[in-house]
Amino acid sequence: MPGFEIFGQEEREQVGDVLETGVLFRYGFDGARKDHWKAKTFETELAQRLGVSYAHLCASGTAALGTAMAACGVGAGDEVIVPPFTFVATVEAVLMAGAVPVFAEIDETLCLSPEAVEAALTPATKAVIPVHMCGSMARIDELKQLCDSKGLILLEDACQSVGATYQGDALGSFGKAGCFSFDPVKTITCGEGGAVITNDKDIYLAADAYADHGHDHIGTDRGAEDHLIIGTNYRISELNAAVGLAQLRKLDWILDTQRHNKAVIKEAITGVSGVAFRQLPDPAGDSATFLTFFMPDLDKARQAVAALSAAGVDGCFHWFDNNWHYIRKWNHFHSLKASARLAVEALPNIPDYNRIHLPQSDAIMQRAISMQIKLGWTPEQLEERARTTAKVLQDI
The amino acid sitting at 244 is: G
Q: Residue 301's pLDDT is what? A: 98
Q: Residue 390's pLDDT is what? A: 98
The CATH homologous superfamily of the domain defined by 252-395: Aspartate Aminotransferase, domain 1 (3.90.1150.10)
Q: Residue 2's pLDDT is what? A: 76
Which is nearest to 25 in space by CA: 321, 236, 256? 236
Give whole-number Cα distances, 213 to 8, 16, 75, 193, 231, in Å.
Answer: 35, 29, 17, 18, 4
Q: Residue 364's pLDDT is what? A: 98
H helix or E strand, kind and range, residue 174? none
Q: Residue 135's pLDDT is what? A: 96
Which is nearest to 15 in space by CA: 250, 245, 243? 243
**Would you give the distance in Å from CA 274 to the centre of its chain?**
30
Q: How many helices (H) and strands (E) does the chain have?
A: 13, 13
Q: Residue 84's pLDDT is what? A: 98
Which is nearest to 53 in space by CA: 160, 193, 207, 182? 207
Q: Residue 3's pLDDT is what? A: 82
Say what angle helices 238-248 and 38-50 make with each other, to 10 degrees: 30
3-250 and 252-395 have identical folds: no
Rounded-to-integer distance, Cα 42 and Cα 28, Å: 17
Q: Residue 272's pLDDT is what? A: 97
CATH number, domain 3-250: 3.40.640.10
Q: Vertex 131, ends 125 and 137: CA angle to 5°?
A: 125
Secondary structure (3-state) at 309: helix
Q: 201 near 53, Cβ under 8 Å?
A: yes
**Domain locations along the chain:** 3-250, 252-395
Q: Residue 362's pLDDT is what? A: 98
Q: Which DSSP state fits 152?
A: P
The amino acid sitting at 164 is: A
Q: Residue 349's pLDDT is what? A: 86
Give whole-number Cα distances, 260 to 67, 205, 269, in Å.
Answer: 35, 39, 15
Rounded-to-integer distance, Cα 101 and Cα 90, Å: 9
Collect the ranges in the chain with pLDDT lower than 70: 1
pLDDT in tens, 374-387: 999 999 999 999 99
